Every structure is written in C-alpha cells, then in structure tokens.
C-alpha cells in the first residue's frame, strides 16, 4: 500500500444501490457475488479493474483490462 498507484477503496454512498443492481438485474449469486462487489466499487469510483478474469465483462459499464499478454 506504500506505492503511489495503490489505494484502499471503500464503499461510498451509492455503493449498495449499484451492488444491488448488479446482483439482481444480472442474476449474480454464489461465487460471483465478490466479483459484483468489486465491479460496484469500480463503477462507483470510476476505476478500472486489472485482472485476467474475463468474468468482469458480465458487469456492463465496469472497465476491465486483462494485464496478461
């Protein structure tokens, strides 16, 4: 966490509403609940998710980049 490009992200006022939409409208449950939580944080704060897991594509609007070639 001492790097200038690393931040702790915390839910803001709109987080729970965004997360609820991702869970209900996308039919997300089980092991995708955590992915929905991460996507909601990214959407709320305008961040990009850097992860090789292409499952984040199911959460429309969340920017996702696969850092692996």
In the chain, domain spans: 34-69
For position 61, what pLDDT does the model report? 85
Q: Which of 39, 68, 37, 41 is nearest to 52 (CA)?
A: 68
For position 52, what pLDDT does the model report? 93
For position 67, what pLDDT does the model report? 92
pTM as predicted: 0.82
pLDDT digits (tens, 9 = 90+) for 16-62: 999 999 888 777 778 888 999 999 999 999 999 999 988 888 888 88
Beta-strand ranges (E) seen in the chain are 48-50, 63-65
- 38-60 per-residue burial string, b: 16 or more CB within 10 A, e: under 16: bbbbbbbeeeebeeeeeebebbe
């Amino acid at each position: 966490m001492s790097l200038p490009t690393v931040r702790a992200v915390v839910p803001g006022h709109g987080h729970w509403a965004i997360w609820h939409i991702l869970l209900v409208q996308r039919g997300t449950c089980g092991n995708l609940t955590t992915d929905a939580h991460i996507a909601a944080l990214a959407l709320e704060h305008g961040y990009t998710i850097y992860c090789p897991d292409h499952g984040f594509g199911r959460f429309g609007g969340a920017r996702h980049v696969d850092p692996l070639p």
